[in-house]
Amino acid sequence: MHARATEFFRGLQDRICAGLEKADGSARFREDTWERPGGGGGRSRVIADGGVIEKGGVNFSEVHGEFSPEFAKQIPGDGLKFTAAGVSLVIHPRSPLVPTVHANFRFLTHGSKAWFGGGADLTPYYPFKEDVVHFHKVWKRVCDKHSPLVNHAKMKHECDEYFFLKHRGEARGVGGIFFDYADATEPMFDFVREAADAFVESYVPIVERRKGLAYTPEQRFFQEVRRGRYVEFNLVYDRGTIFGLKTDGRTESILMSLPPVVRYLYDYRPAAGTPEAELTDYWLKPKDWAAM
């Protein structure tokens, strides 16, 4: 299954990059191939200064080796040997009216244990209900097709819980789906393939609807402030970031998820009743978006 999953993820990277380049309209991904000293390597593809995308990356990796004894205790399985393959992506558009998006799909083994993990989540700054509902409905449709193996409500709940900044008491975005440590059965592999290939459908229509809208410097300012929350989550909580750094992955590829321009202001609080305040007061509260 490792070989088959690796082949699928390599092709997935190609398909997602093609869809994002078409939506951007001008920029192209730069590819860097790399080798991991402990075993394996990958293809990092980064896009920047495009018509829509200010910075983004779609990374493929296939690595193997041994965990440190300390880190091995934190991962399901036994022994020290591991393999990992997958695709991870983050897209930061320039316009504050186009949401940031993240997705990751992966296959791992640790000794006698093998599992799939992944998901996708949306981080808007000035949300449009149509966009949020569309994103969630795509994932619900895919999950429902693979029910009862896959439960959409459970994956949505796990996403809401995972992408939560505990030190801020707020969600990173409006969620999506998230799963981890799912036993590597053939039916689960079928779900992972269909979910991964649904990413372009979940996100690109949103980009197409919003990329031509005019925005103000004030809206751009707020986007840069909120991007700080993205940085905090990825550096403090993100399992992919931690896994990559703990297993001597390529640092540039691991940290490509960080936005290019961020503002950190002391005790910033948007004025009550503004769209900026509404983001945390309404949109970042978990809701059954797919039912709206």
Of 102, 110, 134, 136, the active-site residue reads 102
Q: What is the per-residue pLDDT for 278?
A: 98
107 CA to centre of own chain: 15
Query: Where are the domains positioned within the chain?
Result: 2-291
**Joined tokens for residue 34:** 């790399």
State which amino acid sits at residue 33.
Answer: T
209 CA to centre of own chain: 21
Tens digit of each residue's pLDDT, the chain (292 residues): 999 999 999 999 999 999 999 999 999 999 999 998 889 999 999 999 999 999 999 999 999 998 889 888 888 899 999 999 999 999 999 999 999 999 999 999 999 999 999 999 999 999 999 999 999 999 999 999 999 999 999 999 999 999 999 999 999 999 999 999 999 999 999 999 999 999 999 999 999 999 999 999 999 999 999 999 999 999 999 888 988 888 888 888 888 889 999 999 999 999 999 999 999 999 999 999 999 9
User: At the top level of CATH, which class does the domain 2-291 belong to?
Assistant: alpha beta
110 is catalytic: no
Report the alpha-carbon distance of residue 50 to residue 183 in Å, rounded.
39
**Joined tokens for residue 108:** 């791992």
Which own/partner pairs from 223-227 qualify as long-range (CB within 8 Å, at least 24 positions apart)?
223/96, 223/125, 224/261, 224/262, 224/263, 225/263, 225/265, 225/268, 226/123, 226/125, 226/279, 227/92, 227/100, 227/259, 227/261, 227/262, 227/263
